[in-house]
Chains A and B, each alone.
Chain A
Amino acid sequence: MSLSSLLRQSNAEALSLSQQTAQYLRKHASTGISTIHIPFLSYPESTDVWLMYEKLLLSCLRTGDDKAAFNCLEKLIDRFGATNERVMGLRGLYQEAVAKDDAALERVLQEYDEVLAEDTVNTPVAKRRIALLRSLSRTTEAIDALTELLESSPTDIEAWTELSDLYLSQNLFPQAVFCLEEVLLVAPNAWNIHAQLGEVLYISAMNGNESSEGRSLAEAARRFCRSVELCDDYLRGYYGLKLTSDRMLSTNPNDTRSTGQVATVDNGELPVLPTAVVRRLNEQATFKLAEITRTSNSSCNVADINAAKDLLNRSTQRKQR
């Protein structure tokens, strides 16, 4: 299990992991910098041990087992020192979690500010500060801080995605789209980011004005197409493609332009998709969604499958009417 999958695990899994903490701490009680390494007799120190401590720390914080979390944190501080950037970030996470009220959170925030005043490029702490600002619903400040962070590290795609999410929460769609495009510059094969970009474009088309709706929808459809091109049977991509093409067909059903007459646009933008193409995309997406929902096994996300079934039912009802 990788570190990032930790956040997606269910509550039950988090509980079982945090219950292993005491046992793990006992088993690895001797591991630390003080241990003298004897060849062939003692195990070499591996990064897995410390990743496990980090994992346990997060699970314990999530399940509210603060004492065990503190033990894990102490282990990490003993090994890497209190001035290690990553450890500082984790320590801040612990303090945020155990903070009783807003005043305590403000103190944590102040501490972050002090750390950053000394060392402006301490990325883990800077990220914690932004997360805390967001958590305190000071979104504008969070956006400012994040853009500043991105000035100094423009290839940090995790930060770009977070910024896109922040902009999206403020309904600033063009900015959110731009951030996701930055992510795609660094990770052009990230199929889930392509799908997410499609989703943002779709939402912006739904909320935008009439004139730009067609172009946003066409762009969204292209992004969804790319995501299913990069990943076989990608439910999220086909779902988005179906939704987008449905919308395009319903807003523009009697477009008489045929495939041959694609309007060329001078300013480098891609033209709006012809209706025949959209119809074929729609058929393909419907077919694929039906196939995926039929052949899905228990390992798939049940909620996703149900949402896809719902969408299919709705569109067939609309056709019958």
Chain B
Amino acid sequence: MASSSSKALIALGTILLAHACYSAYEHSALHLAAGLPLDISIETVLSVVFICVGLVLGAEELKPISWRVWAGRAERESGGGGPFQGLEDRLGFVDIRVKRKDFADWVRDQGSDNKG
């Protein structure tokens, strides 16, 4: 998510770049032989720098490179457990009758809690 300052920098850079391009075009139309004036060159370079800085500032938060940091985050995320949690859940071997019984017991507990 780009912050407002980065958005402003990118907008400013784009306007400057467009202006520099237009200036260069006008200049070439009027003075065919002369080289590009210094102010247009500086404007072009500055505008590109603005756009680059704006893009970098507005980049998303970087993902962790090191495995342990990433794993620790995956472990702590809600309902997480990372990519290897499936090895402990083992969906292919699930004992559905036990799961059903657990659920039925849970519903009964909830019912008795509400009454009591």
Chain A residues close to B by CB (< 8 Å): 1-9, 11, 14-15, 58, 61-64, 89, 93, 96-97, 99, 123-124, 127-128, 130-131, 134-135, 157-159, 161-162, 183, 187, 189-193, 196, 229-234, 299-300
> In the bound complex, do residue B79 and residue A8 qualify as a contact, i.e. CB atoms below 8 Å apart?
yes
Residues in A whose Cβ lies below 8 Å from that of B102: 11
Residues in B whose Cβ lies below 8 Å from that of A99: 97
The one of B76, B89, B95, B104 in contact with A4, judged by C-beta atoms closer than 8 angstroms, is: B89
> In the bound complex, do residue A157 and residue B77 qualify as a contact, i.e. CB atoms below 8 Å apart?
no
Cβ-closest chain B residue relative to A10: B106
Least distance between B39 CB and chain A CB atoms (Å): 49
> In the bound complex, do residue A196 and residue B72 qualify as a contact, i.e. CB atoms below 8 Å apart?
no
> In the bound complex, do residue A299 and residue B99 qualify as a contact, i.e. CB atoms below 8 Å apart?
no
> In the bound complex, do residue B67 and residue A135 qualify as a contact, i.e. CB atoms below 8 Å apart?
no
> In the bound complex, do residue B81 and residue A192 qualify as a contact, i.e. CB atoms below 8 Å apart?
yes
> In the bound complex, do residue A61 and residue B89 qualify as a contact, i.e. CB atoms below 8 Å apart?
no
> In the bound complex, do residue B93 and residue A131 qualify as a contact, i.e. CB atoms below 8 Å apart?
yes
Residues in B whose Cβ lies below 8 Å from that of A61: 96, 99-100
User: Main SS of chain A's interface residues?
Assistant: helix
> In the bound complex, do residue B82 and residue A64 qualify as a contact, i.e. CB atoms below 8 Å apart?
no
14 inter-chain pairs at a CB distance below 8 angstroms, sorted by A residue, are: A6-B91, A15-B103, A58-B94, A61-B96, A62-B96, A64-B103, A64-B104, A158-B87, A187-B84, A191-B71, A230-B68, A232-B72, A234-B71, A299-B76
Q: Identify the interface centre among A5, A6, A97, A183: most chain B CB within 10 Å of its CB.
A: A5
> In the bound complex, do residue A93 and residue B88 qualify as a contact, i.e. CB atoms below 8 Å apart?
no
Chain B residues close to A by CB (< 8 Å): 67-69, 71-73, 75-79, 81-82, 84-100, 102-104, 106-107
A-B contact count (CB 8 A): 119
Least distance between A149 CB and chain B CB atoms (Å): 11
The one of B76, B91, B107 in contact with A7, judged by C-beta atoms closer than 8 angstroms, is: B91
Q: CA separation between A130 and B97, bound complex, in Å?
A: 14
Q: CA separation between A135 and B88, bound complex, in Å?
A: 17
> In the bound complex, do residue B89 and residue A191 qualify as a contact, i.e. CB atoms below 8 Å apart?
no
Residues in B whose Cβ lies below 8 Å from that of A234: 71-72, 75
Q: CA separation between A15 and B110, bound complex, in Å?
A: 13
Q: CA separation between A225 and B33, bound complex, in Å?
A: 74
> In the bound complex, do residue A11 and residue B106 qualify as a contact, i.e. CB atoms below 8 Å apart?
yes
In the complex with contacts A162-B93, A231-B71, A97-B81 CB distance below 8 A: no
Residues in A whose Cβ lies below 8 Å from that of B88: 161, 192, 196
> In the bound complex, do residue A14 and residue B103 qualify as a contact, i.e. CB atoms below 8 Å apart?
yes
Residues in B whose Cβ lies below 8 Å from that of A233: 72, 75-76
> In the bound complex, do residue A8 and residue B72 qualify as a contact, i.e. CB atoms below 8 Å apart?
no
> In the bound complex, do residue A300 and residue B76 qualify as a contact, i.e. CB atoms below 8 Å apart?
yes
Q: CA separation between A247 and B76, bound complex, in Å?
A: 28
Residues in B whose Cβ lies below 8 Å from that of A3: 91
Residues in A whose Cβ lies below 8 Å from that of B78: 299
Cβ-closest chain B residue relative to A162: B93
> In the bound complex, do residue A8 and residue B81 qualify as a contact, i.e. CB atoms below 8 Å apart?
yes
Residues in A whose Cβ lies below 8 Å from that of B98: 135
In the complex with contacts A89-B92, A93-B94, A232-B68, A193-B76 CB distance below 8 A: no
> In the bound complex, do residue B69 and residue A232 qualify as a contact, i.e. CB atoms below 8 Å apart?
yes
Q: Known pairs A2-B86, A232-B69; list 8 more (Cβ under 8 Å).
A: A9-B79, A62-B103, A158-B86, A159-B92, A187-B87, A191-B75, A230-B67, A232-B71
Residues in B whose Cβ lies below 8 Å from that of A299: 76-78
> In the bound complex, do residue A134 and residue B81 qualify as a contact, i.e. CB atoms below 8 Å apart?
no
Interface pairs A-B: 10 shortest CB-CB: A232-B72, A4-B86, A231-B71, A190-B84, A11-B106, A127-B92, A7-B89, A131-B93, A97-B96, A4-B89
